[in-house]
Amino acid sequence: MTYLPQHIWKEIAKTQQLDSKWANHFFSLQQEIIDVALDNEAKFFERLGVEHPVILCFFEVVPLLAEHNAITKYILEKEAISLRRVLPEVLDIEEAIYLVKKERYLSTEQEQQLKKLLEIFYKKAE
């Protein structure tokens, strides 16, 4: 969520059906509030022992993974194919981790931590 202007996430929330409660909450927030909300979420993860690089990676891929259908529909309806560069299609956890590893270094332990976090997120979303 950190690499795209909030107004685009907000427009996706307004124009598409979102699958997760997480996205319904975070996509709809005002620009002024999103940083505080993500910071609060990060502090929650920190209290659980999640490392900072893992938290950052989670915030980068979870919207792509959780809302890939809504994102794809939005891009197609807006005919904004250029958005696909910053909103790549991510269909499963392995793809999410692959995408993260292309951009960032994660230790094996951090990679496992991210995988577990995404698995927990997916179970809660079902």
Q: Report whether pLDDT(125) > 70.
A: no
In a domain, 14, yes or no: yes
**pLDDT value at residue 113:** 95
Rounded Cα–Cα distance for residues 59 and 88 (Å): 14
For residue range 7-48, list pLDDT tens digits in order: 899 999 999 999 998 899 999 998 889 889 999 999 999 999
For residue range 93-115, list pLDDT tens digits in order: 999 999 999 989 999 999 999 99
Give Dmax (Cα) for the chain: 42
In a domain, 23, yes or no: yes
CA distance between the termini of the chain = 21
Could you give the number of structural domains in the chain? 1
Tell me the mean pLDDT in the region 75-93: 93
In a domain, 67, yes or no: yes
**pLDDT value at residue 97:** 95
Q: Which domain holds residue 11?
A: 6-125
Q: Which of 6, 4, 125 minimizes the C-alpha distance to 69?
A: 125
pLDDT bracket for residue 70 (50, 70, 90): very high
In a domain, 106, yes or no: yes
Rounded Cα–Cα distance for residues 82 and 126 (Å): 30
In a domain, 50, yes or no: yes
Regarding pTM above 0.85, the answer is yes
In a domain, 32, yes or no: yes
Q: Which of 120, 100, 113, 101 minimizes the C-alpha distance to 20?
A: 120
In a domain, 1, yes or no: no
In a domain, 84, yes or no: yes
pLDDT greater at residue 122 or residue 29: 29
pLDDT bracket for residue 88 (50, 70, 90): very high
